[in-house]
Structure 1
Amino acid sequence: MKKTLLTVTVLSAILSVAACAKKDSEYAAKMRQKGAQVGETATNHKDGVPQNEKKIATNLCEKPQQTVCAIQEAPIAQTLRQEGREKALAQLKKEFSQLPENFQGTEAEFKAGHLYKEQLRFLHLSDAAYRLIYDYDKDVLETLSVVKKLYAEYIQGSTLSEEEKKRQINIVNSTEVLSISKIIESTYPGKDAMTILATSNCQGDGLGMQAHSSLLPGASAGAILLCPGQLVKLAGKEKADRITSLVMLLAREMYHQLQIQAGAADAQAFSCLRATIPGKDDSFFESREMEAMADLMAGRLLFAHLKEVTDVTAKQNSVSLAMNWLCHLPATDPVDSKTHFSNEERIQNLLKIKEAEVLSCGEGPRC
């Protein structure tokens, strides 16, 4: 995933529309009914989220990418995307009657027509429609608390000076995950920059598979953006699985905050990783170091989160699920391909860290 370091630069403002989409009880009831009708793989639970009951056998050690990418979404996730988007688009056309009847809300349409206000409103409406059924913002807030605790424990156990430990823990504790509703509805330093980030990366319907860690202009603390597309895919999963997936995603973006604000690095671990990948020149590794180290740190905290899981197969299942978002990233992105390892390499790299030894996958070196 990308990281963004924003300096105090004048960015073109986007006019934000603050009105919230009202909750539609009939729509919510319809979607919940669909969740109950998708068969044995999904049922309604007390937390209001249709839950995927299907158990997937894994073979993480022998076929890492195939195993991780074989994990399927619950059926409700695609239904949520489709019907939530349709509802938001219909409302957008009501509010902006000048839009043509055949307007589909694509990135190309917004860009061609310079429809910045309409694009931001579509993002706002889409996010609200998805959250009628799966209120992922609640999971994000709960996971953020988990990740901050995991980081505090990791940093306290490191060899950093006491002063640096305090500094890094303060960076972690002050970093906030900004929901789409807060980005659009609230007032805060760097709002124009954040709305630009949200619309350009999450796309109008919010389904872009992006996350960003930023230091906004005028802000004293870091901000993390998780696009709804990253979150909707978890709909229908067990709550524990949803939190585990988000632990890895948030831990990764949080490490970017430590890189941005504290210059965090682990030269020894990266040198170890380089030694496992022969045939590449220095420039290949140098351009990918920051993103690779964020991956490795996310993996370390993921295993810390799963330390109470003693069954190896169960732990492999959880690790596979947490890495599944890597399977949905475009392999040919002109920017990401120059700063990230390939999706397959990233999955393999995460199995090389010393914490992954508990999975009994292969032999060292452990980084």
Structure 2
Amino acid sequence: MAKTAAAHVQAGDREVRVSSPDRVIYEATERTPEVTKLMVAEYVAAVDDGLMRALRDRPTALERWTSGVRPGLKLATGPGDRGADAFYQKRVPKGAPDYLETVGITFPSGRTADEICPTEIAVPVWCAHMGTLTFHPWPVRRDDVDHPDELRIDLDPQPGTSFSDAVRVAGVADELLRELGLVGFVKTSGNRGVHIYVRIAPRWEFAEVRHAAIGFGRELERRDDQVTTAWWKEQRGERIFVDYNQNCRDRTIASAYSLRPIAGAPVSTPMTWSELAGVTDPGEYHLFSVPDRLADGDPWAGIDETHHSLEPLLELWEAQVAEGHGELNFPPDHPKMPGEPPRVQPSRRVAEHWDDEGNRVEQRFE
């Protein structure tokens, strides 16, 4: 069979070459026809304004599904997943065009890397040519990569709960933010969850932003019994988990207008608060329907107009600490932190094996 000739996609002022344009990335569903690699690149170009509002000048990791999305295909999430079909790209891929810019970032381990830093729509279109479906930007800008300008509230439905439960909790979260003088911008995750972003002044380090997220999550938990901040899954129950650790260094969330690797090519879609309240099926927002929405205006068009103070949320955190509610667990790829609880499931924890700082005590046998 003859090899399909490359196609070209207009991306701003550039034409971007797309190889294997007829490769099927998403198979057809009852709701959507099949999606080819060329169609993915064209989608990225079509959501230019919204996507670049989410990515511009941010270090961005790529979630690459070079063989497309099929049942049973696996995404590599760690060094042990060598046979996986898809992977995260945190360093600039080989063969990058000369217009692609980078920014240096530091991982929690202390290692450094140059990561893609989109400055024009041709960059994510080229990334689509490389098999990228989902963009994972850091919550920082290239001129200050150590001070986030976004607080990210990830509402993650646990087994036994639904997208509709996350939507209801998001409404409670919106009320709390407004009480604190903060404005949140909401989007679907593209799957079952809901994401809320708050632009903040880039004055605080990652650890402080994370504490602000914990403070917010605990207050939300106090107000709504369907909310949890429990890190260990065995403790969460049928509730909506506020994943505070999404605000750690090198932890990222699918950007606004990113495709997700799920049948039907769903999109992480920005919404107004009133619109979200009426949504029951996030799968209705997909590669074919979202560009028309954006043509009518982006619900997040004003997200950069105001950068809020974190002080109201840090005051919540400090009050909680004073009440005896201290540090929570960090992700496993982060160094052990002072005051962090033991990194072992509560059901497997033996109290005498751990000191007050959460460090394992070596056992001595006589």
Whether TM-score is above 0.5 comes out as no
- Bigger fraction of residues in helix: 1
- Bigger fraction of residues in strand: 2
Structure number with greater CO (CA < 8 Å, separation at least 6) is 1
